[in-house]
Amino acid sequence: MLEILKKRRAIRDYIDKDVEDEKLAILLEAATLAPNDRLREPWSFYVIKGEAKKRYEQLAEEYLNERFPTKPHLVESSLKVVKTTPVHIVVTSDIVPDDEDATKDNEFAVCCAIHSMWLAAEELGLGFVWRTRGVGLVHDDRLHEFIGSPENKKVIGNIFVGYPDEESLNKLKPSKRTSYTEKTTWL
């Protein structure tokens, strides 16, 4: 497991190949095995591919043009990433009305679920990146509307999944991490 954690990277460049539904099912199952308070299982997943992906691309283009009207190159490069990503999975967390603590616990559980998906993706040879800003549209109400405006749901991330582009993988530098010894206080 430690080796998978060490290899895990945010992969943003994909080849033009569909991700099999069987592999997506494994990612989703891995997510549902994550720890969660009182077994509330506070996650929901919205898989975007095919025709829905085309609609998402239009939404992303609208968003990017509004957000970066003076940066056409940024809009173009961001749209390229959106269009070349085979599958998007929007992940939400349940909001518990009148219970802020439970709602926050749910968000933590969903973060664990996403990380479980990431580790499964590594094992399946899939590229994976968890988008929380920008082209992920996580903080834009239009994404919530796009997935059907589910009541009492908060978008936690937009996962981009595909088969990694080998050329881009070869350009990745080893991840430099601070040793746990510098981040740990033993009491």
Q: What is the pLDDT of residues 65-123, one digit of tens each?
A: 999 999 999 999 999 999 999 999 999 999 999 999 999 999 999 999 999 999 999 99
Q: What is the pLDDT of residue 182?
A: 96
Distance CA 62, CA 126 (A): 28
For 97-106, write each residue's pLDDT tens digit: 999 999 999 9
Strand partners, 159: 89, 130
Single pTM value for the model? 0.93
Q: Kindly calculate the radius of gyration of the chain based on its CA atoms and give it in whole angstroms.
A: 17
19 phi and psi, to 5 degrees? -90, 130
